[in-house]
Amino acid sequence: MQQSPHSPQSQSLSASAVDSAVPLSNLQQTYAVIPRERPYTPLLDRVDSPADLKTFSSAELITLVDELRLFVLYSAGQSGGHFGANLGVIELTVALHYLLDTPQDQIVWDVGHQAYAHKVLTGRRDQLGTIRSKTGLTAFPERAESVYDTFGVGHSSTSISAGLGMSLALRYQGRAQTVACIIGDGAMTGGMAFEAMNDAVQQDADLMVILNDNDMSISCSIGGFSRHLAMLWESGYQVDISDAGEPILCQRPDMQAFDRRKRHKEQRDVPQLEDNLFKAIGFTYFGPFDGHNIPELLRVLSLAKQVKGPVLVHIYTTKGKGFAPAELDPVGYHAISSLPLEGSQLLESSKLKAAKDSTVANKPSLKYSQVFGQFLCDKAAQDNKLLAITPAMEEGSGMIEFAYEFPERFFDVAIAEQHAVTLAGGMATQGVKPIVAIYSTFLQRGYDQLIHDIALQNLDVMFAIDRAGLVGEDGATHAGVFDFAFLRCVPNMLIAAPKDENECYHLLNTCYEYQGCTAVRYPRGVGTGATITQPAQIYNVGEAVVESVLGQDDAPKKLVLLAFGTMVETAQQAAEVIAKSPLFASSCQLQVVNARWVKPLDTNLLETLVEQGITHIATLEEHMIMGGAGSAVNEYLLNESAAFKLHRPAICNIGIPDRFIAHGSQAEQLTDCGLDVDGVVKQLQQLLS
């Protein structure tokens, strides 16, 4: 064995992590502390590509699993990111890359939360600490990053469709290559997965689907499908695979370590596993198997990949496997932030600043999801017609308290965005007021339903759209930068964009009280720290607010900044910079307008401003320029404004350019787009010059 560059003498695992390593079984170790120092991983350091695994013995693979799990723990501590799902598939990832001839054989990950170990084994080990940073690895598999990343992912339930497409194309070209799709039980609740399985049977495709069943998506999996999987596990039986590739019904080894589904236990007869859902569809089914048992995985997968036609291998795993706190709290450890720098001046100063801010404000700033959660509970206490729907985003959307206080009015439909939207439409026909809480990037998946099932019938449904705009380290797959464009072109839709937490609360109330299709669009994270005032207000629909006027009325240049949502504060800061600059201080008047509504626009205010002699107009939005709020302003001025035809002020649209924005912090992404204060100032100076 070659000498590792990370030898025990040079850089070893921290003592606290070593002390916390205790045997979980004869196969794995578990840890209670995330190591701060690069652990000693002599076997892992020998793996620069999957081909290097072929020389490992079974015993070495088991040791490699421990080293890989510890390395992922260390790297996640350095960079933050998705956590529990990655720890849960360490054994599966090793087994797949050991058995398959990648990249000729195709591994397709669903969602991609769990691909960190895959990245390590495919030549990106020393880069894993850079994941999610601006110039580092992407948070999800991406074709441009590696030949081993066969399909770009980020949204759920896509792997079987993509894998089937690969399999059919390979068959057409006469290429005998294995295609393996890994999909979680949460992602399997998405209807797209079943559409693909139906077609795989129709096509009699050679396709291996591995169902990674950890009873979790981000939240706990729910519904009839989850209960069906629980029944298969609780039966105590499994469909094993013979050396000839034939299904064999036998008693499953007792695995008490996986007794996490007690909430599903009921008195049942022993089920006929050969008649399960997958078998009924037409798949050859094997399982359930222990997904953390390397010898068992190697045996099962090596036989399963030789079976012709569509095959499903059902394994059960533990989210957060090998890290004790994550096993106890898989939801809390779905993703983590990087470890703070202990004792650093940066950390101490941030603590002091936080303490000072807390003293001044008496309480920390709320996240926008918390503002929504507060509104939901407040309004539900007043109006018993309110019902709330989420497609598996209870925690992320801030609905935990509502679900606890009003369980009969809370509907988590699992990862099924299309169903969530049409479900709300059906509810709205019966005299109740449904609110669909959904991330902007996921609302894209329910677009046809929004048009056909909600807006076309002008049903009384409100959309609370979270994670709008740039979202930071998750990158382009999760950015919510298209919603203005795809919503404002739909008749009957109202679209509100709050500037801060307080306005968000009152716009939620305004849109709730409106009879028809409405959407309130707000960003990820905290806002400006604005205090929420009570009681809830009802704003005038389509009415903007002039935030400030800087400069003299007789200035030869008059610039109006029409800002939408998060850009109001940026517009105000940029206006103040320009107002103080020697070049424009005496020659330009600036007005900052909180547009507040994307649809309908405040056309009365626009007409008034242009009639008053405005010489320049700039629109600002954290959204694509093409088709966005600025485009709506342009369309009105060019097509309907009589004042614009007379005065012809210069117009500039400031927003996200026509490209996908790479991952990085939100601040870095804003700078990249010219949407930070400096970037906006430069664009405004160019407009005025």
Q: Annotated binding residue at 401? A: no
Q: Annotated binding residue at 417? A: yes
335-336 and 81-82: which strand pairing? Answer: antiparallel
How far apart CA 315 and CA 99 sit, in angstroms, is 17
Q: How many CB atoms lie within 10 A of CB 375?
A: 24
Active-site choice (445, 467, 521, 599): 445
How far apart CA 608 and CA 558 sit, in angstroms, is 13
Residues 6+ apart with CB under 8 A from 639: none
Q: Annotated binding residue at 527? A: no
284-290 and 310-316: which strand pairing? Answer: parallel
Burial class (CB in 10 A: 0-12, 13-18, 19+), 168: middle
Q: How far is CA 213 from CA 69, 89, 326, 329, in A?
A: 19, 10, 16, 17
Amino acid at 321: K
Q: Annotated binding residue at 185? A: yes
Active-site choice (417, 569, 621, 668): 417
Q: Annotated binding residue at 154? A: yes
Active-site choice (69, 125, 319, 521): 319
- Residue 445 in tokens: 């998946």
For residues 248 and 239, the answer to whether their CB atoms sit within 8 Å is yes
Enumerate the β-bridge partners of residue 310. 207
How far apart CA 410 and CA 388 sit, in angstroms, is 5
Phi, psi of 662 (to 5 degrees): -65, 160
Measured over the CA atoms of residue 325, residue 326, residue 331 and residue 336, the dihedral's sign is: positive
Count, in order, helices (H) and strands (E) of the chain. 25, 23
Q: How far is CA 253 from CA 120, 238, 257, in A?
A: 32, 9, 11
How far apart CA 183 and CA 415 sit, in angstroms, is 13
Helix H or strand E segment including 203: helix 191-203
Q: Annotated binding residue at 155? A: yes
Q: Is position 501 annotated as part of the catalytic site?
A: no
- Identify which of 675, 340, 212, 631 has the alpha carbon closest to the alpha carbon of residue 479: 675
How far apart CA 157 and CA 184 sit, in angstroms, is 9
Q: Is position 445 annotated as part of the catalytic site?
A: yes
Angle at 92 between CA 87 and CA 93, to 5 degrees: 80
Q: Is position 379 annotated as part of the catalytic site?
A: no
For residues 440 and 455, the answer to whether their CB atoms sit within 8 Å is no
Measured over the CA atoms of residue 45, residue 46, residue 52 and residue 55, the dihedral's sign is: negative
Q: Annotated binding residue at 224? A: no
How far apart CA 96 and CA 115 sit, in angstroms, is 12
- Identify which of 398, 390, 392 has the alpha carbon closest to the alpha carbon of residue 369: 398
For residues 568 and 654, the answer to whether their CB atoms sit within 8 Å is no
Q: How many CA atoms lie within 13 A of 651 on its CB side?
A: 18
Q: Annotated binding residue at 214? A: yes
C-alpha 607 chain-centroid distance: 40
In the chain, % helix, strand, coil (3-state, to 5) comes to 40, 20, 40
Annotated binding-site members: 113, 154-156, 185-187, 214, 323, 417
Annotated binding-site members for Mg(2+): 185, 214
Which residues carry out catalysis?
A: 319, 417, 445
Annotated binding-site members for thiamine diphosphate: 113, 154-156, 186-187, 214, 323, 417
